[in-house]
Amino acid sequence: MDRIRIVGGKPLQGVLPIGGAKNAALPLMIASLLTRETVTLHNVPRLSDVRQLMRILGNHGADAAISGKRMGQAEDAGDTITLSARDIVDTTAPYELVSRMRASFWVIAPLLARTGEARVSLPGGCAIGTRPVDLLLMALENLGASIEIEAGYVVAKAPKGLKGGRIDFPKVTVGGTHTALMAATLADGTTVIENAAQEPEVADLAACLIKMGARISGAGTSRIVVDGVPRLDGAHHAVLPDRIETGTYAMAVAMTGGDILLQGARTDLLQSAFDVLSAVGAEVTQTEEGVRVRRDGRGIRPVDVTTEPFPGFPTDLQAQFMALMTKADGVSRIRETIFENRFMHVQELARLGARIRLDGDTAIVEGMPTLKGAPVMATDLRASVSLVIGGLAAEGETMVHRVYHLDRGFEALEKKLLRCGAEIERISGER
Ligand code: UD1
């Protein structure tokens, strides 16, 4: 297992390119199962989750290639993926493939919409509390599917095709909205999705589906209307920039000090977090090339944050923001409202000397002038990057273990940080 070694204390300077959003690329790739034609996606990040999803789609019959090369030929070449699911050869998504990544469960929607049946293993993914799929199944039932659970698999059937219907989510769910949107595109009639997730990744999926011939209005708002069509075509689509990667590096520079240009980033995808960073004392400006984030030698102001669905402060930046607050000049409160048990980074940050107390869904962080490097263990995708941020700002050496979590969601993390002046290296293999 690889490790990442960091010697902290260096301010970040220079240009850091932001890749395509993982959380948009995954549903966009899955949407390719809705059509016999070729879907070409540009600006796809080179991540282990993307490669894993290519395997899953391949199992259903999709011919998948990265910049013209098939899996195994040149896995890291290029950022263009072509997916052609001419025939669906298998409607089962097996446990071995799905258990590693929760988003792969979403294949249930296109498989069902296109073939009338799907058998998909209940999902795995990051260990951040129970993450049920009841609302995704409710959405499919409202479109006329029958759902049964058999030996750890969800078996969904709609032999006569899906029918347009009304889906009113009692809670905002990104995956539920993606699933409902994909299923509704091929349903017979009109579907109305109420209390839909407004995340930019939902709007990006809808934009691609519209290019494929879907009739969708309102994506990016809380009410989406879909008029079903009998078939969809291929399309070319560029994945939108990764706002979580953007926010992560913005938090890092706010913590270490320095001046970086997050090339290709957009403030409009992350206004809530940038407002918080401004309140903390960082200077954030949108330029033609991207987002520039600076913090000079002055202190880090403590700011309270509550995670919320978009446009609120994202749960996927909660751990990174907590790392930043461990060096603030005072006490801050960070409340997590999206996922239970998303505080696994707390005890690892404590190993760097951070003072954090948990009270229910709230972490109370007492800022310290200095953190000290230590060996730490990554527990999930976003938690692990908070340890990298902590390590960049800590005195001395931090060794982050189990970095495969990072490779699921952050492309070339150590290379990007190295180019911005960090002392960071990946150490391959077992210790
Ligand atoms: C997506 C993101 C993830 C992000 C999360 C919230 C991807 C690949 N992942 O995850 O990075 O942290 O949105 O912004 O895009 N819920 C239910 N029943 C369901 C579905 C969800 O109770 O059927 C609950 C969840 O447990 C959670 C909340 O709804 O408490 C939000 O989850 P959801 O938005 O669905 O998260 P994901 O789509 O899995």
pLDDT band at 73 (very low <50, low <70, confident <90, very high): low
135 lines ligand 1 (CB under 6 A): yes
CA-based nearest residue to 22, from 241, 203, 208, 196: 241
Question: What is the pLDDT, as a whole number, of residue 199?
Answer: 98
What percentage of the chain exceeds 90 in pLDDT? 85
Contacts of 77 (CB under 8 A, 6+ apart): 66, 67, 69
At residue 372's C-alpha, the angle toward residues 366 and 376, to 5°, is 95
Atom number in ligand 1 closest to CA 138: 23
Of residues 244, 265, 374, the one with CA closest to residue 321: 244
Decide: 330 in ligand 1 pocket, CB within 6 A: no
**Cα–ligand 1 centroid distance for 151 (angstroms):** 23
Residues of the chain with CATH 3.65.10.10: 3-18+241-427, 22-238
pLDDT of residue 70: 67
Q: Would the CB of 43 count as within 6 Å of ligand 1?
A: no
Q: Catalytic site residue 126? A: yes
CA distances from 300 to 3, 24, 281, 297, 321 (A): 29, 32, 6, 9, 12
**Mean pLDDT of the 418-425 span:** 97
Least confident of 51-55, 168-172, 208-212, 275-279: 51-55
- Topology of domain 22-238, per CATH? UDP-n-acetylglucosamine1-carboxyvinyl-transferase; Chain (3.65.10)
Report the separation in Å between the CA atom of 430 and the middle of ligand 1, taken as the mean of its atom positions. 33
Q: Which of 12, 39, 101, 126 is catalytic?
A: 126
Q: CA-to-CA distance for 360 and 98, rounded, in angstroms?
A: 31
Q: What is the pLDDT of residue 100?
A: 82
pLDDT tens per residue across span 328-339: 999 999 999 999
Write the pLDDT tens digit of every residue in 257-309.
999 999 999 999 999 999 999 999 999 999 999 999 999 878 999 999 999 99
Mutation test residue for ligand 1: of 22, 131, 339, the one with most atoms within 8 Å of CB: 131
Q: In what order do the strands lie in the sheet with 92-93?
A: 92-93, 117-121, 153-157, 146-150
CA distance 41 to 29: 8
pTM (predicted TM-score): 0.96
Contacts of 214 (CB under 8 A, 6+ apart): 185, 206, 226, 229, 232
- Helix 108-115, helix 134-142: angle, nearest 10: 20
How many other CB atoms are found less than 10 A from the CB of residue 100? 18
Per DSSP, 400 falls in state E
- Residue 248, H or E segment: helix 243-256
- pLDDT, residue 126, reads 46
Average pLDDT, stretch 143-164? Answer: 95
CA-closest residue to ligand 1 atom 11: 316
Residue nearest to atom 5 of ligand 1 (CA): 174
Residue in the block written with tokens 């509390």:
129
Q: How far apart are CA 102 and CA 412, in angstroms?
A: 22
Q: 230 forms bridges with which residues in the sheet?
A: none
102 lines ligand 1 (CB under 6 A): yes
C-beta of residue 12 within 8 angstroms of C-beta of residue 423: no
- Give the residue, out of 104, 120, 173, with the most ligand 1 atoms within 8 A of its beta carbon, to mutate for a pocket test: 173
Q: Which CATH superfamily is domain 3-18+241-427 in?
A: Enolpyruvate transferase domain (3.65.10.10)
Q: Is the CB of 121 under 6 A from ligand 1?
A: no
Round to the nearest angstrom and report the end-to-end CA distance of the chain: 8
Would you place residue 431 in the very low, low, confident or very high pLDDT band (cuts 50, 70, 90)? low
